[in-house]
Structure 1
Amino acid sequence: MSTLDYVVLLGTLVGIAVYGMWRTRSSGGLQGYLKGDDSIKWGTIGLSVMATQASAITFLSTPGKAYDDGMGFVQNYFGMPFAIIFICVFFIPIYRRLNVYTSYEYLGQRFDSKTRYLGAFLFLVQRGLAAGITIYAPAIVISSLLGWNLDLTIVLVGALVVIYTVSGGTKAVSITQRYQMGIILIGMFVAFAMIIGNLPEDVSFASALSVAGAMDKLEVVNFSFDIEERYTFWSGLFGGLFLSLSYFGTDQSQVQRYLAGSSVSASRFGLLFNAVVKIPMQFFILFVGVMVFVFYLFEEPPVFFNQATLDVVSETEYAAEMVTLQERYASVVGERAVAVRQLALDLGAGDESVIAASKERAVALESQALAVRADVKELIGKAGEDLEAKDSDYVFITFILNYLPEGLIGLLVAVIFAAAMSSTASELNALGSTTMVDFYRRIAKGGQTDAHYVLVSRILTAAWGGLAIFFALYANLVENLIEAVNILGSLFYGGILGMFLVAFFVKSVRGTAVFVSAIISQLTVLIMYNTLEIGYLWYNLIGCGLVMMLSYILQMTVFRNGGKEEQA
């Protein structure tokens, strides 16, 4: 990166952090620190909720996912609008009426202390690990591509987020996320414009779309009933519905965003904003990845997008074999470029028989290119067990660094960092507040002042930040990053959601039955994940259904004569 890029990058990130700390230099006690003094408007809530979801993983990994597999990942979000409507109708009024700091307080009021602790504990485990991933994800990619020390990059990103999150609490997170989200959206539109602008002069946008469709990258909906397939219309509609219900309705990193609203209406409008905008935004980010794929059909892409890994292999006994593979790949993609250009011309002419022949030729060469890339990944695995043989997370950042002009590179890298900061800040803020409210404040003996609890919240938030940085320093991800985060959530969210739905709608069930059912459900989901091949979105439905069914059965049988349990 050039000096101008570094100025844009550092100026953007430091400016946002300093502004957030300055705007919230007086937090206004525990209420203001944890809930933002009820002054946050619906627009800020909407952007904050969206920014909490839109981590660096979204902007690094999602385009790479589309580059490899096309648009099908968008089905992951098909159930989200229905979930948000449900939350607006049932969850928000209850949370606002009870004036809770965390969603798990409600479990204590409805059931008992142990159920509240269990819900909060499951959240802390899942979100604590996720916070480490959201720091690790951009750091591992950016450090590799820019030549920065990985550990230093992790600490830099984590420390900056911890400082302004600890300083201003919920309001600082929400206010800074408003601007971070703005930068993110501007940056993605700029990247898209640059991709289209860098296509060959004789290839129009319409031709690029036709080529993408011919190469099977634009298939959005898959109506297969195969539960082993990760992304189908049905897994997205039903599994995605329960994933979104749990994420938006029970995950404190999201609940804390809309509990800070100035009214029930503000909270609802903020969430409904996401119901309307999220799927188009995710569609657009995936579409950016597809356009990067089309761009590289006409240009020679790297045989492997993580150049740092190739550099390591070049120092091993496999260097000569790697050079041979790179030469073979260059030859294949050169032929592919000619075939794809001819396909683009034939698609414009409209002769179906000619189009079919051109498509067959282009697809065959693409298959050959993929086979060479598979050989490269296998060779990387031989060269070192600690070398990452997946490169989809490096596709988009490689395009940015190689094809964008000075200044815009800094802006797009700032987008990645801003996304990492916004999502991690929300997570740390929620982790600190949950630990303080649901554990420390109940366990600590004697009443304390607001100032004491604010101090403890700051300390706990900083501690979780340190723990997240520790997780990031020792993380070893084997999945595509965007999938890894969704898989992690799906393994925990179903059981947590089941506890809340029982609390809302099954009034005859008490805490012990729910507590036992949630533990059984969580263990069952983990065992199923490690032994069966089921699309991970279904675990949200399975976990929730198990808790609801088992808790009712246990309450009617084993715990039928149980007495009134301790409220918390």
Structure 2
Amino acid sequence: MSALDWSILFGTLALIVGYGVYKTYGPSTMERYLKGGNEMNWWTIGLSIMATQASAITFLSTPGQAYSDGMRFIQFYFGLPAAMILLSIFFIPVYYRLKVYTAYEFLESRFDLKTRTLAASLFLIQRGLAAGITIYAPAIILSTLLNWNLTFTNIFIGVLVIVYTASGGTRAVSITQKQQMTVMMGGMILAGILVIYMLPVKFTEALHVAGKMDKLNIVNFDFNLSDRYNFWSGMTGALFLFLSYFGTDQSQVQRYLTGRSLKESRMGLMMNGFLKIPMQFIILFIGVMVFVFYQFYQPPVFFNQVQVEKLQESDYWTAYQELETRYQATFEQKNTQIFDMLDAVKQEDAAQTDLLRSRILDSAKEQESIRKQVKELILKNDPLGETNDTDYVFMRFVMDYLPKGIIGLLFAVIFSAAMSSTASELNALASTTTVDIYKRSINQHRASGHYVKSSKWFTVLWGGFAIAFATYATLFENLIQAVNLLGSLFYGTILGIFLVAFFMKWVRGHAVFLAALITEAVILLIHFNNGGELLGVPINIGYLWYNAIGSILMLVISAIIQLGMPKKRKKK
């Protein structure tokens, strides 16, 4: 990167961190530190909610996922507006009426202390690991692209977040997220405009190319439990995921508990519900346009340059060069076919268009076959080598083709996204540890200032844990899927506890506690046997369904246990 890019990158990060510390520095009460003094308006809440969910993984993985898999990931968000409406009706009024600091306080008033502690502990496990992934995910890619040491990159991101999050708590997180969202979406939209401008064909022709190559596959109504992304998984499995994430995950609950009123919090949630889908559509569409760009300009045969450089120093370099030559020849053949197809489209020759489309798809399959052989070489050279390069697609394009200054801005986008989501997670982890574990069960009846200090220390401790986990983590198949998978393992059980609390008033604490333990065990058994058999039954379920399965199991098992319990005799 140029000196201008480095200046923009570090200048942006320094301004965000400095602004967060400056605006929130000074003495603070628990109310102000954990709930921002209930001073946030609806649009700040909405931006904070969106920034919390829009991690660096969103901006790294989503364009790459669209590049390889098209637009169908957008279906994951179809259930979001319905989830926001349900939460505004049933969840938020209860939290405001009880004036809770965390969502899990409500569970003790409804059930008992052990159920509250269990739900809080499940959240701490899931979100503590997720915080590590949200640091690790961008760090491994940024360290590769910038030629930084991975451990240093993990520490750099983590320390930046810890500084202003520990300093100002929830208020610091919320006010910095406004600047971060501006940088993130401004940078991505600018990148999208530039990639469209750089295309050698008209925008309408680019859409024809994307459509004919199955990249504009926005909606799929086929019902298939093993399919991760279709209309039905988005409206059911993902709906349960969003209900749990936004309704019971403290990293999101804490965002709207800062509202000036119930109305402001509801409006912030609804803003997220109706802007998140367009936001994801834009990011996915940018990925599709990058795909179209690489139909006219030859893409790398493998996008992770570090792995290619390792091959260069090995005995497999000659074999790699031969594959690269074949890849280039296939690309040139496909490129000619694409221009011929566009001519056929102009002439409204449907038969010729279909014929050329078939040839183009065959050429694309040949390219993927060559890429597969390259991945095999990488593994032969290094059995632990990382062969999934979709997360590198977008930033490789940025570094290779975008002008100076814009590159630094796009790297600032990724760092800002990493900071915004990680800050919310550390803030929520510290709040839950302080309120639901430390203050409730370990050290009660201390002054407000004591718990503010403990929250700051827990922020530092959880930040250290996240950095440590990030340092020793391994790369998943796809980073954005890794976070959703991790959440799906726990969210169904947590949401089920809350659904029982809201809608099954006759179920008591002991029943729901036992049901939660059983349900979580079943979900973990399903996951670790997915693709195989469980008790002789074949298991092949997309992970988004874990959320619905977990929630339904909680309702059913809680009811069965409660009905099976002996009724207490009334005293005469």
TM-score (structure 1 length as normaliser):
0.97
Deviation at 1:149, TM superposition (A): 1.1
536, 543, 546: which one pairs with 2:543?
536
Mapped to 1, the partners of 2:334 and 2:569 lie a distance apart of 71
Q: Give the secondary structure class of the aligned counterpart of 2:40.
A: coil
Cα 1:506–1:388 change in 2 (3 A) is same
Report the equivalent of 2:23. Answer: 23
- Do the aligned residues in 2 keep the contact of 1:49 with 1:254 (CA within 8 Å)? yes
Kindly provide the amino acid, as one letter, of the partner of residue 258 in structure 1: Y
Q: Does 1:359 align with 2:357?
A: yes
Report the equivalent of 1:422. Answer: 420
Aligned runs of 1:484-503 on 2, under 5 Å? 484-503=482-501
Q: Give the secondary structure class of the aligned counterpart of 1:129.
A: helix
Indicate the larger mover: 413-422 or 329-338: 329-338
Mapped to 2, the partners of 1:128 and 1:341 lie a distance apart of 50
Deviation at 1:348, TM superposition (A): 2.2
Aligned runs of 1:38-187 on 2, under 5 Å? 38-187=38-187
Q: Does 1:558 align with 2:565?
A: yes
Cα 1:29–1:196 change in 2 (3 A) is same
Aligned runs of 1:130-279 on 2, under 5 Å? 130-200=130-200, 203-279=201-277
- Do the aligned residues in 2 keep the contact of 1:135 with 1:468 (CA within 8 Å)? yes
Q: Give the secondary structure class of the aligned counterpart of 2:104.
A: helix
Aligned runs of 1:414-563 on 2, under 5 Å? 414-531=412-529, 532-558=539-565, 560-561=567-568
Q: Deviations over 1:74-133 (max 9, x none)?
A: 111111110110000111010011000000011111100110011001001110111000
Mapped to 2, the partners of 1:110 and 1:169 lie a distance apart of 28
- Structure 1 residue ranges without an equivalent (≥5): none
Identity of aligned residues (%): 54
Mapped to 1, the partners of 2:445 and 2:349 lie a distance apart of 80
Mapped to 2, the partners of 1:94 and 1:232 lie a distance apart of 33
Q: Deviations over 1:239-295 (max 9, x none)?
A: 111000000000000000000011101100000001110111111111111111000
Deviation at 1:563, TM superposition (A): 10
Q: Deviations over 1:393-441 (max 9, x none)?
A: 0000001111110000000110000000000000000000000000000
Kindly provide the amino acid, as one letter, of the partner of residue 550 in structure 1: I
- Do the aligned residues in 1 keep the contact of 2:28 with 2:449 (CA within 8 Å)? no
- Do the aligned residues in 1 keep the contact of 2:135 with 2:157 (CA within 8 Å)? yes
Deviation at 1:226, TM superposition (A): 1.6
Cα 1:247–1:316 change in 2 (3 A) is same
Cα 1:350–1:463 change in 2 (3 A) is same
- Do the aligned residues in 2 keep the contact of 1:60 with 1:393 (CA within 8 Å)? yes
Kindly provide the amino acid, as one letter, of the partner of residue 105 in structure 1: E
Indicate the larger mover: 477-486 or 206-215: 477-486
Mapped to 1, the partners of 2:83 and 2:456 lie a distance apart of 32
Report the equivalent of 2:536. Answer: none
Cα 1:411–1:560 change in 2 (3 A) is farther
Mapped to 2, the partners of 1:439 and 1:562 lie a distance apart of 34
What is the Cα-based RMSD across aligned positions, in Å?
Answer: 1.3
Deviation at 1:506, TM superposition (A): 0.5
Q: Give the secondary structure class of the aligned counterpart of 2:236.
A: helix
Cα 1:27–1:390 change in 2 (3 A) is farther
Kindly provide the amino acid, as one letter, of the partner of residue 497 in structure 1: L
329, 335, 340: which one pairs with 1:331?
329
- Do the aligned residues in 2 keep the contact of 1:497 with 1:544 (CA within 8 Å)? yes
- Do the aligned residues in 2 keep the contact of 1:322 with 1:379 (CA within 8 Å)? yes
TM-score (structure 2 length as normaliser):
0.97
Kindly provide the amino acid, as one letter, of the partner of residue 562 in structure 2: Q
Mapped to 2, the partners of 1:537 and 1:410 lie a distance apart of 35
Indicate the larger mover: 307-316 or 487-496: 307-316
Mapped to 2, the partners of 1:211 and 1:146 lie a distance apart of 32
- Do the aligned residues in 2 keep the contact of 1:27 with 1:169 (CA within 8 Å)? no
